[in-house]
Each structure stands twice: as C-alpha cells, then as structure tokens.
Structure 1
C-alpha cells in the first residue's frame, strides 16, 4: 500500500465543511431507529435475567434474590443507558455523527496544538474502544440468534438437536445476503421491531398484573439487600446483569443515521418501557414458579404460542445481528479513511443511501468467527461467558472520552466532569470487574480479538508514519522544483494526475516518470486526498485548486470519514476552477512501494513482518479511489522498513 496515494487524516476542521442538517423527529425516523439502533439491547430479554441465575452466580431464584436482581437491572438501565448515553453522551456529536471515533475526534478538537500527550492518550483510548467493538461484534449475532432458536427446546424438547444447525443456517444465510444490500429488507426492520417491543411490554405487563408486588424492585434498597447477602459473590451476578445493557453504545454510534431526537423518543417512549416491563414480568413469573428460570422468556406465553414467539424472537435476533454487521462495515470504512486500517474493497449496495456498504473481506472474516463461536460454544448459555467483557470495556472508554469532551469542548470544570462521569462509570467498572471473572469461561476470547486488532491498528499507523518519513526525505517542495526547472522537458498532449500524500511536495511517481520518460504532459495535476475529521464535506467545498504556472496545478480533494473517495468525480468538480476533466485525455500515475524488510527495523521484527503483510493485502489504489484501470500507470519504488 503506497502512503503517497492514501487519504490522509486531518486533525483540523475545515472552514469548507458543512454540518449535517438536523434530523426531523418524524414517526418514520423513530420507527426506522427501532430497526437499527435498538436491535442489540432489544434482544437482551432473551437471555439476561436467565443467565443471572444460571451462569455461575449460585443464587437460588428466591423472591428476595429476584427483587434484588430486578432492582440492579432497573438502575443499570436507568443510569447507564438513559442518563449516561441518551441524556449526556448523545450531546457529543461530531457534525451529527456518533461512535467512539467521533467522540475521540471531538475531544481532540478542543486541544491546543501543544497537548501531544493528551492527544496521544485520546488516540489510544479511541483505538482501544474500536478494538473492543470488534471483539464484541462477533459475539452478538451468535448469542442473539442462538438464544432465539433455543426457544424450540421450550416448545418441544425433541427439537433440541436442531437448535445448533438451524442457528448456523440462519447466520450463514444472513452473511451470504450481505452482498445484495439491505435496502429492501431494511424497510421491514422498523415495523418488526415495533411489534417486538410492544409484545415485550404486553407479555411483561400480563405477568406483572398477576403479581404487582414485583414492582417493589424499583426501590434500590432491594439491590442493597442483595449485595449484603451475596458479598463479593455479587460480582458473578453483575457479570450477567450487564447483558441487559449490551447495545447501549449502539444508541450513540448510530446517531448519524437518525439524529438524537428520534433515538431519544424511541428509547423513552417505547424501548425502555417495553424492556423493563418484560424483565419485571419475567421476575414475577420466576417468583411464582422458580422452575421456569431456564427458559423464562418463552414461558411468558402459553405453550401453544411458543413457536410464534420463537419466530418473532428469531426475526428480532436477525435484525439485531444485521445492525451489528452494518455497524462493523461502517466503522471499518471510517477506520480506513482515518488511516487506522489498510484499504479494503468497499461495495456500495444502494444508489441513494451512503451508509449502505458491503466490505467482502470483513464480511467473510466475521462470518468465520461467528460460525466458529456457535460450533465451539454450542449454546447461548456458554457464549454468555464470553459476552460482556468487551462491552463493559468499551463503555469505560466512552465514559473517559466523554469526560474529556465535557472538559475540553463543553468547558465543564474538572471537579464537575470527574464527579458526573466518575459516578456514572461506577456501574461500568463494577460490570467490567465482574466480567473479568468470566475470563476462564470464555471472556478471554473477545479480549484476545481486541488485543490483536489493537496491535494491528497501532502497527499500521506506526508503519505508515515510517514509510511516509522515508518518502518525504527524498522529496523536494513542488514550488522549489518549479523554480529550478530552467529548461522544460518536451511536453506531450493530455493531462497527467499524480496522487500524493502531500500536494506541496513532488511525488515520487512524478520524479520517476520524468527521469525515465523525460517528458511532461501539457497539464500536470498533483492531487491529494484529504480525509477530514467531519462525516461529510459538501460538494461545493469538495476541492481546493491552486495554479502554480508552467502547466502545474495542485488539487486537494476533501472527504469526510464516512465518504468514499472518487478521484474522477473530484476532478469533475474542478471545472469551476478552470480544469476540464476528460477521462480519455487523462493518465493517472500511481506510486507503488515495495516494502523490503530491514535487519534493524524501528518496528521490531514481529511488527515489521505484520506491517508488510498488511501492506500486501491492501486493495489496489486504482480500485479504492475508483480510477479507471485502463488509464492508470503504476511506477514502483523499494523502501526498507
């Protein structure tokens, strides 16, 4: 992968960028948000309360224990999801976009240019959050779909052997269909989830009506009684209670698709009531009949209706999985644009929606991981041991970055920011410690995945800087080159475009072409692709053009981190600046660096070899930047790394 041809991350906010238009909070947007934003947290009732009593906690499902667990669950949802994410963190949007990368970008924007250590700390936190997201993303589809399909065992125990193969068929089919896009099916996601949350609330209210005393769990004194009763053993319960808030970060990460107001309306008006009613209904049912705890969710309905609930649950689980997969694609593209990962082939599956993308390499890798998890763990209960550690780690990262935003951007005082976000981080820290106890039961898996991704991202960034430094050492400022060019070489008709990381210096491909061919085109364009720290750059401000004389021009094409660079389109945008783009008269010269391992690499042996492997796996420049392959000319260069 050639650094001279890669879009560069910019820490500045261009005056030319424009923020997203505010989202209207219409009913259609609220329903649409139900199908994308709340899928993960919306399927938690399938397993969260069940696992609290079954997965290693050792707690008997007595009325006192049930009330204590419900009290903890209620306040976890209220503090972590409602107060922390919906009320506070969703205020921190980067031109309408959310997510850990947007949060980190917003925090660094409030720093002065000299605050290098703070900037690096924020970068490290962002990379950790990104890595933990990937560690969590491969578990969510597996545990959601398996939990839903396991309802077949409640309907008919003889169907238990079919749970695993049916789960695999559903998941594999979901990944296979990704290449076709989700625009058509996606229209059904919102209405299905609307029905799902209504059903959750109705089923829970039905059981609460039979035992209204379960509502006493709203009083936090019951949580206190449970802690004093269990002592340090309460951490085993924490490790499962956290399953009720998994997906909270998705509310913030998907904010750019719908805006904060529809998400807030959907959460407060339907999702939160539906979830809490269902959890309390499950609790009421367990108090009445403790034997149902193993399949308590599906015991909420008469046995004749379990199959209907299994079908609806499976649809909700598939939608939750689709939301996670879409989120992985979206965040991967952002990471590529910001220079965190090597270029990959990206397909756009919709002509109208910029967020509808498909990344084949990520899709098949994620599918392989999900299939391996389903086969290796065999049940959603076993997978619950692996679930939670990455989520709680990501929540702690969000809290730290949000505190930085509060201090640097919102101008809160240090004591106020530390008090507010420190208090809200207490449940996250308790959940994280609790989930660390599950490391022997599978919690090691997402952490290993996160560690590998962190290592990959940091290796890629470090290697890219070293290669860029190597290239810049032999380059000459472009204006200085033009001043020294006393006798112009022979000029040939047409336009030559040279991609570079820095439009102010002569690209290596340009010097190689001049050295070997000894000719220049009539018009030379030195083109730099600049990825900004905003989601979208308006078309009116897409390019900056400067005439340098002697037929030379510099063009800087600006793209947001959610946009896909398109070099021919950028050149067409230069027409108002006096550059008429004709594809048949234009040649694109691309540098192609061959990395040679050095015996004394500053990366070290392991990181050096991994960086070279990543570079070889990167998508071709002409493909990523949509350059016509029959108009591209590659010029090679060897660099020791």
Structure 2
C-alpha cells in the first residue's frame, strides 16, 4: 500500500497535472500506510516472509511475459508480414462475380474465381490500432506489408521422382514476389486477434501450402465486461471481396467453452455466410508459436533467463484459442519458430 500511494501521488502530478497543494493531503494516507507497514514488519520472521516471497515471484513472471512478448512482436515485425483485409482480395487476385451479402447460398453456389490483373493497391493502410498487436512504442506503429502477390493456377504438373526441386512456371511475373496457388474447395476459419489485418497463421498457410480456400473466414473472439451476450448482439460480420469474411464474436465473462462452428452457424443464419451443415467441411487453423532462444554472444546471458521462463509460459498459453473448445478432427495447428535473443 505504501508503494501504491506513492505511485498514485506521482500519477496525480505527472499524468493528471495536479498542483502540489492538491497532492499533499494524500500524504495522510501515506502516514497511515507507513504505520500499518511498521506494525506488520514485526510479523515477517514468524511467517510474513511467505507473502513477501510470493509478491516478487509474480513480479518476475509478469516481467518475463512482458519482455518475451516484446521480443516476439519485434521478431514478427522483422520476419513475418501481414496483409490489410481491404487489400487482401487484390493481393489474392480474385474478381468479384456477384454479391452474396443479400442472398442465402450454399457452398455449391459460390462462383468460380478468376485471376485478376496484378496491380499495386494505392492509398491502403496496413496499420492496426489493436492494443495487443504492437508492444514497441518506438516504431511507426505500422505492420510490415506483404510484397508478394498470388497467381491462381488451374493445374500443376507433377514432377518426376528424379526432380527434387519444386518449380512452377509463372508467366509474366517475378518468382520472388508471386506465390502460385490453387483454389481449394471448403471453408477455412483462421483464428485472429485483429480486426484490420490477416493473422500470421494465414500467411504461413498461404506460403507453405500454395492454396487459397474457397471461403476464407477470420474469426476474432472478444470478451466483454458483461456477463452474457445475446445472440442478436453477438456477431459483427464484414465482407471483403466475394468470399472473404471477418467475424467478430462477443462473449461475456461467464461464457466459456466457445465452439467456433456454432459461431459460424450463427453467422450463416444472421449474415448469410456460406457455412455447410457438416462441421468436418470447415477447417479451423490456429497458430502455434515455438520459442527458440539464441545463445550467441556473452550479452545474451543477461536476456536469456527471462526468455527461458517466457518460453515455458508461452507453451502453456493457447493464444487466440483461449476459452475455445476446438474439435481436434478438423483443427490444424500451423507453427512459427521464433528465434529470440
């Protein structure tokens, strides 16, 4: 309480810009806290040391988590890129054939996707204002933009067994900034923590699998201060292009064991999102961030011990899948190996 009172007085002066004559009366609380602290200090040898030991323990865990998250976000900003949802249809090269916002359709009614002319979008911002995206306050606050575009191909030739390299012919394009991909049937649901850009698990899936799902859904779970949220107030659906959806689902603090497929069925009933009746036709993709601590250089000894604790805490935290009940038969975990120093 002594530390809390002192911090509160500093907040009054440096944050709220209060005068000293307004802050000095709070010194009465400081005197009371010091009196209470001195009386309880006599109990430290007889068992009060346990509480003193627990306090620094939780402080160390909190500091290691904050330090590890800071390093992880810096790694993702340097080695992983995301795409703004507004520019995602142009990047994927998808032409909008018709609008499905006002008509109820099924997966079989989804139009065939065609390749659009590749062009650089103008005046599209990739910045995100979500508080849990960036921890570094010294950067510009914008996310790294994806420089690659996707070229949809109708078929891929099967290479002979003697050929070990994977080589796909691309016409009129540079292989460094073009990802060849095919449209695959089905619904892909990617868990995300952002409302403005694609999650890293989607970029990893696209670059490794060279596949564009027929229906792409980005699902964000938000927990509110209310106990229970009614179904008519639960969902917010945004449509990007003709087959890309961002679904934000609100849940109260008493609601747990959230099932993504039930959210998608509710989105189909309220917003005409093309979701099949069979749950196994929907694949849920979650991220799995594996932490690897670099041990190069003597200076890494100072930063190494909090990262070791952070790696243990990170392995126990489900990330975007917290409080979500996933079906293991239609859930795919895509990992990211983060080298932290």
Sort the TM-score into its range (normalised by shorter chain): 0.5 to 0.7
Are the equivalent residues in 2 in contact too, given 1:463–1:603 (CA < 8 A)? Answer: no
Are the equivalent residues in 2 in contact too, given 1:531–1:558 (CA < 8 A)? Answer: yes
Shift of 1:460: 0.9
**TM-superposition CA deviations, 1:442-492 (whole Å, max 9, x none):** 222211111011110121122123213322442132333432223344333
**1:626 corresponds to:** 325
**1:470 corresponds to:** 75
**1:604 corresponds to:** 303
Measured in 1, the distance between the counterparts of 2:68 and 2:272 equals 38
Counterpart of 1:461 (choices 60, 66, 75) is 66
Shift of 1:572: 4.2
**2:316 corresponds to:** 617
- Closer, same or farther: CA 433–572 of 1 in aligned 2, 3 Å: farther
Are the equivalent residues in 2 in contact too, given 1:496–1:524 (CA < 8 A)? Answer: yes
Residue 197 (structure 2) pairs with residue 494 (structure 1): no
Are the equivalent residues in 2 in contact too, given 1:542–1:570 (CA < 8 A)? Answer: no
Counterpart of 1:446 (choices 42, 51, 73) is 51
Counterpart of 1:571 (choices 243, 264, 267) is 264
- Closer, same or farther: CA 477–625 of 1 in aligned 2, 3 Å: same
- Closer, same or farther: CA 414–562 of 1 in aligned 2, 3 Å: farther
Could you say which structure has the larger radius of gyration? 1
Structure 2: where are the runs of 5+ without partners?
Answer: 94-114, 116-151, 153-180
* Within-5 A mapping of 1:235-274: none
User: RCO greater where, 1 or 2, for CA within 8 Å and sep 6 or more?
Assistant: 1
Larger strand proportion, structure 1 or 2? 2
Are the equivalent residues in 1 in contact too, given 2:186–2:282 (CA < 8 A)? Answer: yes
Shift of 1:435: 1.7
- Closer, same or farther: CA 619–498 of 1 in aligned 2, 3 Å: closer
Shift of 1:499: 1.3
Secondary structure of 2:4 counterpart? helix
**2:248 corresponds to:** 556
Measured in 2, the distance between the counterparts of 1:472 and 1:536 equals 36
Measured in 1, the distance between the counterparts of 2:263 and 2:208 equals 29
Are the equivalent residues in 1 in contact too, given 2:67–2:307 (CA < 8 A)? Answer: no
**1:356 corresponds to:** none
Are the equivalent residues in 1 in contact too, given 2:191–2:321 (CA < 8 A)? Answer: no
Measured in 2, the distance between the counterparts of 1:470 and 1:602 equals 19
Residue 208 (structure 2) pairs with residue 507 (structure 1): no
- Closer, same or farther: CA 403–607 of 1 in aligned 2, 3 Å: closer
Secondary structure of 2:73 counterpart? helix
* Within-5 A mapping of 1:378-527: 393=1, 397=4, 415-416=21-22, 419=25, 421-473=26-78, 474-478=80-84, 479-486=86-93, 487=115, 488=152, 489-527=181-219
Measured in 2, the distance between the counterparts of 1:560 and 1:402 equals 34
Secondary structure of 1:442 counterpart? helix
Structure 1: where are the runs of 5+ without partners?
Answer: 1-392
Larger helix proportion, structure 1 or 2? 1
**1:170 corresponds to:** none
Shift of 1:496: 0.7
Are the equivalent residues in 1 in contact too, given 2:193–2:220 (CA < 8 A)? Answer: yes
